[in-house]
Amino acid sequence: MSYVSRVLSLAALVLALSAALSSVHAQRSSGAVGLGGQAGDPSGVTLKVHNAGAPSYDFLAAWSSVSDFFFVNGHALFENPLPAENVEQPLEWFIGPGAYVGFFENNAPNDDVVVGISGTVGIQIVLAEHFELYVQATPRFDLAPETDGDLGGGLGLRYYF
């Protein structure tokens, strides 16, 4: 695990624990923007626009240390409540299609731009008033310059403004 991944993981854990101790009932309003980090493979910066009753939009600028791949992807997220007993905070599962563009840095100076499609599936919980903790899996399929597949995912935390 890289240094950046460790720092993001520790920050996410500290923020999640402090948010979980809050007794404020969590709510996100439509149009709220969440910004945060994701640790895993890939690790990166995440931005989400929440839309109640409509698809939300999730963006990730990420680095896969396993394959030296830097990319930006976006997904439309269809969020659904997940019934859970004795859980006060909103728990949801989500799924959605997406696309990405990126490049492999280990091919320098002839870095090829990679374009592909992806999907994501995961679980999220809204903590406190402004925090969302999630875990997701993201299969990716390169369309150009060659076809290839990969599976990524991670644990993330977003702060909503």
Predicted pLDDT of residue 14: 42
Predicted pLDDT of residue 85: 78
pLDDT along the chain (161 residues), means of 10: 45 45 52 94 95 94 86 96 78 96 72 91 90 96 92 95 87
Query: Phi and psi (nearest 5°) for 105?
Result: -80, -20
Predicted pLDDT of residue 107: 58
Name the helix (H) or strand (E) containing 41: strand 33-41
Residues 73/154, Cβ–Cβ less than 8 Å = no
Predicted pLDDT of residue 116: 97
Predicted pLDDT of residue 3: 40
Query: What are 27's two structure tokens?
Result: 């709510």
Q: How many CB atoms lie within 10 A of CB 31?
A: 9
Name the helix (H) or strand (E) containing 150: strand 148-160
Taking the C-alpha atoms of residue 83 and residue 40, their distance in angstroms, rounded to an integer, is 27
Predicted pLDDT of residue 80: 94
Taking the C-alpha atoms of residue 2 and residue 30, their distance in angstroms, rounded to an integer, is 35
- Give the angle 36-40-46 at the CA atoms, nearest 5°: 25
Amino acid identity, position 161: F
Q: What is the pTM of this model?
A: 0.78
